[in-house]
Amino acid sequence: MQFDRINIADLVVTVALGGALYLTISAGERDLAMSIASGLLGYLGGVKVSAKKESKGE
C-alpha cells in the first residue's frame, strides 16, 4: 500500500475548516455551517484536481 506525501498546508486548512464546521453545527448556525461546508468541499475538490494535473505533468 502506497501513501502520497502529506501537504501540511492542506492538512491545516482541512482540520481548521472541519473544526469550524463542527462548532457551527453544534451551535445551531445553519447558514454559517452551509457556507463553511461548501468552502471545505470546494477547497478539497480544488486540491484533488490540482493533484491530478501535477501527476499528469500539466
- pLDDT by residue (tens digit) across 8-57? 888 899 999 999 999 999 999 999 999 999 999 999 888 777 777 777 76
Write the DSSP assignment of the chain as a string of letters: ---PPPPHHHHHHHHHHHHHHHHHHHHT-HHHHHHHHHHHHHHHHHHHHHHHHHHHT-
Q: Tell me, what's the pLDDT at 38?
A: 95
Residue 47, CB-side half-sphere exposure with 13 Å CA sphere: 14
Q: Tell me, what's the pLDDT at 10?
A: 86
Alpha carbons 25 and 40: distance in angstroms, whole number: 14
Model confidence, pTM: 0.73
